[in-house]
Amino acid sequence: MRGGGPPRWWRQGPPGHRDHGGRRDRQGRPDRRGRRDRHGRRNHWGRRDHWEHWEHWGEAERGSRWPWRSTVLTTVVVLAGSHVAARAAEEGERVAPDVSAHVLLLLASGLLLWRQRYPRAVAFGTAAVVLVHLAAGYPYGPVFLTVAVACFGAVVAGHRQAAWAAMGALWAGQVLVAHWLHRWLPPPGDSAASWGQELLIATWVVAIAALSELARARREQRARERAERAQAARRRADAERLRIARELHDVLAHSISVINVQAGVGLALLDTDPEQARTALTTIKAKSKEALGEVRQVLDTLRAPGDAPRAPAPGLGRLPELVTQAAAAGLTVEVEGETPALPPGTDLAAFRIVQEALTNVVRHSGSRHARVRLGREGGALRLCVDDDGPPTGADAGGSGNGLAGMRERAAALGGTIEAGPRSGGGFRVLARLPLNAGAKTGEGRPPAAGREER
C-alpha cells in the first residue's frame, strides 16, 4: 500500500458503499452537508435522528461485502478492555495477557468478518474461542462482546436456534470451568467462582438474546411495512392505469366512431354531393381536433401528476355537445329529465357512460334513434340510455371493453350498471350513481348477456 496509512476506501467506507445516502457533489466527492428535516433544520447524520442513522449504518454494512467498520471497532474495544481488566485484577488472580491471549482475542474478533455469510458458524466459533480464553485463565474483560455481536447477527439473520445454542454452550462451559475444571487449569490455586457471578453471566446471556429478538422483530416489521407500501403503490398504479385506459377508450371510441361514420358519408357523396361531403370532412376535422385535445389532457396528467388540469373535466353540462355529435353521425338523441347537482367524479362518470352508450348505438344498432333519461331516484342519479334496435351484428372495430369500463366507473363510485337487450327490442344501459359518492372502490358485476361486444 503506497504512502502508508489506511487505504482510500477506508475513509469513504467499504467497497460498494456510499456514505451520506450515496449523494455526491459536482466533483464526485461525497456530499457531507447532510439532509434537512421536515422543519428545514440541517441534520448532521443525514437522518431525522441518531437511531435511524445507526440503522442506516448497519444496513449499509449488510449491503457491503465485509463488515469492516463494526469488526474493527469491536476489536479495539476488546483489546483495550482486556488490558484494563488485566491491570485492575489482583496479582495471581488471573493470568497476565501474553501473545496467546492476544491471538485468541484477535481470532474471536476476526471471526466477526464472516458473520453475514456464515452466521451460525461464527456464533459457535466465537463462543468456542472465548471459552478457550476463559479456560486459559486470562482476564475476562469485554471478551464476551464478540459472542454478543456474533449471536446478535445470527438472530437477526433468522438463525435464532443456533444463537441460543451457542450462548447456552458458552454458559455451560463457563460453569464447568469455573466450578470443576479450575483445579487443573491456570492460574494455580484458583478457587471456584461464586454462583452470583454465574447468575450475572446468565442474565447477560438473556439480555443479549432479548435485544437480538427485538432487533429481529423490528427488522421483520420494517420489511413488512416496505412490502405493504410497495403493494399499496402497485394498487394505486393499477387503479391509475385503469382510469387512464378508460378515459382513452371513451374519448377515442366515441370520436373515431363519429369520424368513421362521417368518412363513409364523405366517400359516398364525394362525386354526387360535394357540398355535403365537405360538411362531413369539416365534422371529421372538428371531431379529430376535439379528440386530440382530450387525449392531450389525459396524457398531461401522466407528465405532471401534481399540476391542475388545463381544462375542466367533462360533465353532463356538455350533454348537448354529445347530442350534436351524435346527430352528425346520423343518430337522433332525445333527452328527458333534468340533471341534479353532481360531484365532479359522478358528473364525469355520468358523461362518459352516456358517451359510451351512444357510441355503442352508432356502432352496433340498426336504429337511428336513441333516448337519454335523467332523474333522481332516492340518493342516486338514475341514468338510462335506450335504442330501438335491432343489432346490426357488424364488427365496428370495438375492443369489447366499453361495458366493462362503464361498470368500473360505476363501481368506483359505489353505483351499478345494468346493460342488456330490452323486452320490446333494442338495448338498454341503466346506471345508478350515488349523488354523495366518495372515493369508494368495488368490483363491477359480471358482464350482462347480450351484445357484449359493445
DSSP string, 192-244: PPPHHHHHHHHHHHHHHHHHHHHHHHHHHHHHHHHHHHHHHHHHHHHHHHHHH
Tell me, what's the pLDDT at 1? 39
**Number of residues that make up the chain:** 454
User: Is the pLDDT reported for residue 12 higher than 50?
Assistant: no
Tell me, what's the pLDDT at 249? 75
Q: How far apart are CA 399 and CA 407, in angstroms?
A: 15
Tell me, what's the pLDDT at 442? 39
pLDDT one-digit tens code per residue, 255-284: 777 777 778 878 887 888 888 788 878 878
Buried residues in 135-154 as b, exposed as e (16+ CB within 10 A): bbbbbbbbbbbbbbbbbbbb
How much is the mean pLDDT over the chain? 76
Instruction: Read off the DSSP letter of residue 189.
Output: T
Q: How far apart are CA 444 and CA 427, in angstroms?
A: 19
User: Is the pLDDT reported for residue 130 higher than 90?
Assistant: yes
Q: Pick one of 3.90.800.10, 3.30.565.10, 3.90.79.10, 3.40.50.2300 as the CATH number of 315-454.
A: 3.30.565.10
- Show Cβ contacts of residue 321 under 8 Å, excluding neighbours closer than 6 positions: none
Residue type, 207: A
> Is the pTM of the predicted complex or chain greater than 0.75?
no
**Which of 178-187, 212-221, 308-317 shows the highest mean pLDDT?**
212-221
Tell me, what's the pLDDT at 311? 59
> For 398-425, what is the mean pLDDT?
82
| Per-residue cell: 29 | 466527492
Please state the domain extents for the chain. Answer: 40-226, 315-454
Evaluate whether 349 touches 388 at the Cβ level (below 8 Å): no
> For 218-245, what is the mean pLDDT?
88
